[in-house]
Amino acid sequence: MLRLGRREFGADERVIMAIVNRTPDSFYDQGATFRDEPALARVERAVADGAAIIDIGGVKAGPGDEVSAEEEARRTVGFVAEVRRRHPDVVISVDTWRHEVGEAVCEAGADLLNDAWGGVDPRLAEVAARYGAGLVCTHAGGAEPRTRPHRIAYDDVVADILRVTLGLAERAVELGVRRDGIMIDPGHDFGKNTRHSLEATRRLGELAETGWPVLVSLSNKDFVGETLDRPVKERVLGTLATTAVSAWLGAQVYRVHEVAETRQVLDMVSSIAGHRPPAVARRGLA
């Protein structure tokens, strides 16, 4: 059972986390939701399309202009509070590696801290414990925030993913983070080249077998683009194919840009797996 905010998700429930970037320079939407009005509209649409979690980020993942903790908080805290006011039952996640920002957004109503940089600030888990928030424990290959990998190598990338994420998860439990609020994330593209991310996907079942809920952040990433030789705006099909494979192998939470399309993919996989009945069943009955 995964419990986040007011929501509980069964082991066979596949959950969508919709991305809402409060940045002027995000790699995918180029700042489309930097201002409040379009960002709030994005939240409304994502919830209507089937997202249970809204993931709010104030700093783009890649290199770019310096963003201080104060500026990151300015971009996210008030927005978290407004989303909380409008959607009491939606799970609000904030994508941050900084404990100062984590504390401010939890005060504003966030339910989950999405630490995409693998515990680079160890105090972030302490914040999650103090506020009763959930925590995403990610493998980033030891990379510094907002850096790209350069000639990184692993003897066994999945073994390293397991070592790091399980270590972060157990540390979080020891600090007092709720066990049923912790997820592990293999960190596609983070501290990895394309072959590493493909292998992490291919062997995702090894993460699912640990018993920790697995979150995957696949949406329009570089490993999809390089695999198919497609620019950012032409990676949706590759992302959805990777989503279907990840769902079959046991991932539970999907951080995405395209909510409606992902919902259809996940529902189809759930029905094939026998976890969801067809929405209608008329064929052969008339």
Q: What is the pLDDT of residues 227-265, one digit of tens each?
A: 999 999 999 999 999 999 999 999 999 999 999 999 999
Is pLDDT of 286 > 80? no
Average pLDDT on 206-225 reads: 98
pLDDT of residue 30: 78
> Mind listing the pLDDT tens digit for each residue in 149-175?
999 999 999 999 999 999 999 999 999
Residue type, 125: A
pLDDT of residue 139: 98
For the ranges 92-96, 143-147, 169-173, the lowest mean pLDDT is seen at 143-147
Architecture (CATH level 2) of domain 2-272: Alpha-Beta Barrel (3.20)
Average pLDDT on 35-48 reads: 97
Delimit the domains of the chain by residue range: 2-272
Among residues 14, 75, 98, 221, the one annotated as catalytic is 221
Tell me if residue 7 is catalytic.
Answer: no
Confidence grade of residue 54 (pLDDT, cut at 50, 70, 90): very high
Can you tell me the distance from the alpha carbon of 121 to that of 161, in angstroms, rounded to the nearest whole number?
18
Q: At what angle do helices 194-202 and 236-249 cross, to 10 degrees?
A: 40
Is pLDDT of 31 > 90? no
Q: Say if CB 208 and CB 249 are below 8 A apart.
A: yes
Tell me if residue 255 is catalytic.
Answer: yes
pTM score above 0.75: yes
pLDDT of residue 235: 98
Among residues 14, 42, 84, 255, the one annotated as catalytic is 255
Q: Which residues contact 124 (CB under 8 A, 6 or more apart)?
A: 96, 97, 98, 99, 102, 113, 115, 135
Residue in the block written with tokens 């790209």: 148
